[in-house]
Chains A and B, each alone.
Chain A
Amino acid sequence: EAGVVQSPRYKIIEKKQPVAFWCNPISGHNTLYWYRQNLGQGPELLIRYENEEAVDDSQLPKDRFSAERLKGVDSTLKIQPAELGDSAVYLCASGRNTGELFFGEGSRLTVL
């Protein structure tokens, strides 16, 4: 079974530039999560999908962040414009209902 695939693995951008992260979850998983992880801290939830519906986006900074999950499969997380404080690792995870989550390797963003 293929795991959760994220790209890019690393991204360095200047502040105020846009950036997008892509996630391909495990086939058959109905839930998809985007987390942000700062150095030395645990993952913080940004948005949670059940199929193609965003059921919890309360922690997503909607002035600059947006996300979509096309046809309930792949998902894209976008930041526009990026700020220095957005430097972090962005993790995508998928699962079934209330069970365990499978994580991708993450996308490390550095904003200069």
Chain B
Amino acid sequence: SQQGEEDPQALSIQEGENATMNCSYKTSINNLQWYRQNSGRGLVHLILIRSNEREKHSGRLRVTLDTSKKSSSLLITASRAADTASYFCATFGSNDYKLSFGAGTTVTVRA
């Protein structure tokens, strides 16, 4: 079973536009992480936000976390063709101490 749900399932944007995807989860968390996966490859860690943090930035990435709503968002600004990938949110449970993934958002950036 998967902990998080990403929305939308798929997103297609023009190069230079911003991409926003959301993640909702169900249980209490220690932290929330976002990963990227290029087709046929392993997952690559993008950013980690702790449960006591509300916003975090890393380069062109901005992540927000609202623990009262059990939701997070990932914003990719000024998208590039190389950002085409699947993006997954993953929650580290504060009770089960394991990292559980959502189903992912597939992002296509058109040149």
Residues of A whose CB lies within 8 Å of any CB of B are 4, 33, 35, 40-45, 48, 55-56, 91, 93, 98-106
Contacts and interface: CB of A to CB of B under 8 A. Distances in A.
Given A56-B96, A105-B42, A42 B101 contact: yes
A107 to B, nearest CB: 10
Contacts of B100: 45
Contacts of A102: 45
Contact of A42 (B30, B48, B88): B88
Interface of B: 1-2, 4, 30-31, 33, 35, 41-45, 48, 88, 92, 96-104
Given A42-B102, A44-B2, A98 B97 contact: yes
A98 B43 contact: no
B99 A103 contact: no
Contacts of B41: 105-106
Nearest to A35: B101
Contact of B98 (A41, A48, A99, A103): A48
Contacts of B102: 42
A98 B103 contact: no
